[in-house]
Amino acid sequence: MFETQIEAFCKAAFYPFLSRIFHPINELLNPIYQPWATLTAIGFFVGTMIWVCVLLKESYVNEGRPNRRWWSDLRLWTVLSMLPHVFVYFYFY
């Protein structure tokens, strides 16, 4: 009952203004689906890997590293932990 009253108030007070913002955005986005959805999702994962491995300084990424062995490089860990997701979103395309 109380929730219904809140919704009624918000609809009366804010819907006329907010709908003018969100409805055009929704109409713009409605026809955009595949392959852009999958490309955006995969791009998110790939972009993050590039950011860590290429754009960030190695000294910052591996600050506090216990040794210089290859397995302690956190850039490698980033790629290994992100790659399965790329395959998952590609598979379910």
Partner 1 sequence: METIIGLSNIDIAIITVYMIGTLALGFFCTRYVGNAEDFFVSGKSLPFWAIGFSIVVSDIGAMDFVAVAGATFRHGVSAANFDWMGSMPAMVFAAFVFVPYFWRTGVFTIPEFLGRRYNSAVQFLNAVIWAVVLFLGLSIMLWVTADKLMHTVLGWDAMWSLWLMAIVTGLYTFAGGLTAVVFTDVVQLVVMYVGGFGLLALSMWEVGGWSAMREQILAKGPEFQNHFTILLPHNTEGPFPWTGIVFGLGIVLAIAYMSGNQVIVQRTLGARTEWDAKGGMLLGGFLKSMIPLMVALPGLCAVILVPQLPIEEADRAVPEMIRLLLPSGLRGLMFAALFAALMSSISGTLNSASTMFITDIWGQARRWFGRPALTERQALNMGRGFTAFLIIISAILAKPIADRESIYVFMQTILSMFQGPTLAILLLGIIWRRATQWGGLVGLSLGVVFCFILKNTPGLFTSEDPFLFVAWWSFVFSLMITVVVSLLTRPEPEEKLRGLTWGSVIHSAEAQAALEERNL
| Binding positions for partner 1, rule: CB under 8 A | 3, 6-7, 10-11, 14-15, 18-19, 22-23, 26, 29-30, 32-34, 37-38, 40-41, 44-45, 48, 52, 56, 60-66, 72, 74, 77-78, 80-82, 84-85, 88-89, 92
Reading the block at residue 47, the tokens are: 């972009």
Q: Cβ of residue 58: shortest distance to partner 1, in angstroms?
A: 12
Q: What is the dihedral of CA 50, 52, 54, 59, to 10 degrees?
A: -170
With residues binned 3-state (H G I as helix, E B as strand, rest as coil), the percentages for the chain, rounded to 5, are: 80, 0, 20
Q: Cβ of residue 39: shortest distance to partner 1, in angstroms?
A: 10
Give the number of other Cβ atoms within 10 Å of residue 23's Cβ.
Answer: 10
Q: Cβ of residue 13: shortest distance to partner 1, in angstroms?
A: 8
